Structure 1
Amino acid sequence: MPLQILALHVKECNTAEYETLSDSEPELSNLPPDSPDLSPATEEKIEETSDLLKYSDQIMSCGYTGPINDQNKGNIKRAIAMHATARRTLMLQQLREGLQLYHLVDIMEKNKEVCRSLFVFEGGNDQVDSQYIVSHLDPKMSESGTLKHSKEMQILNNFQNFLMELEEG
């Protein structure tokens, strides 16, 4: 799960969330309202569907308990957005706790602008995918030809395969 959180965070983190993550006194419950907005695909799916009941399991898992019909599409969208906010807040808290284990939050607080590019994808045509992440790794490997080196290579290959599986869905 932590790698999934990191992959999601790197792909979707915006400036406001980075400020929350690197803030010395974070108010994780006060994320900006536009932060976890519904994706256009989700919004479109809700608006265009003629039978919301076929999505009832997903809707109810987001905490919506009212009638599932066309008259309540607005309430359903709000419930999904609130669910996304809660998930995003939890992910940011967990990521912050993990970074704090290595005192990286302290570094981020002191060097906000330098560290921003590590968490906020700004501009360019690069897509954050498994290839992008692996190409930016710089592991310190053991001497080539040793058993330890072959195990390290196997771990690196497994990590790349894992990222590719996440990408595929």
Structure 2
Amino acid sequence: MGLSFLPEAPKKGAESRTIIGFLPVGEDVGLEDFRENVKFMYVCGDVDWDRDFRGLKAGHIKAGLATGAGATVETEASARGSDGYMHIADGRNLPPPGRIPEPHDIIGSVYVQSGKILPETYEAQPMYRICTQDGVCVLPYGLDEHVLKALKEVADKE
């Protein structure tokens, strides 16, 4: 069974780049059986097709940050007291204030200077997992809408 953020089944079926991943059908199936769709991960980023890639790469996340779509991330950046890299956490399992998220919950990191995000510095976290025991990915507000719009465009072209 394929899992997607889109409300309609993809035209290309299991070959669609809009499918997040797959769960086998059965009675004893759990999130540990979830398998990421590498093609989906490529849609979310600028990835060399010859590389093995597990996290959301620059592409749509970086583009969203560059266009100001990451409202939640921007708010967090503006509240920082110093320059440096800031982690972008998946919303499914946010850490307590002032704490660092689990590595599999860090979508990526971006440099913050004088309270402003420098989108060109975005780096994906290779340990990030699109689905964990806490559920499926929950992108920060604004970035979620940006990636969803990109997925709709992909679905229209397939």
Please indicate the TM-score interval, normalised by the length of the shorter structure.
under 0.3
Greater RCO (CA < 8 Å, at least 6 residues apart): 1
Task: Report the structure, 1 or 2, having the larger helix content.
Answer: 1
How high is the TM-score relative to the length of structure 1?
0.25
Task: Report the structure, 1 or 2, having the larger strand content.
Answer: 2
Work out which of the two has the higher radius of gyration on C-alpha atoms and give 1 or 2: 1
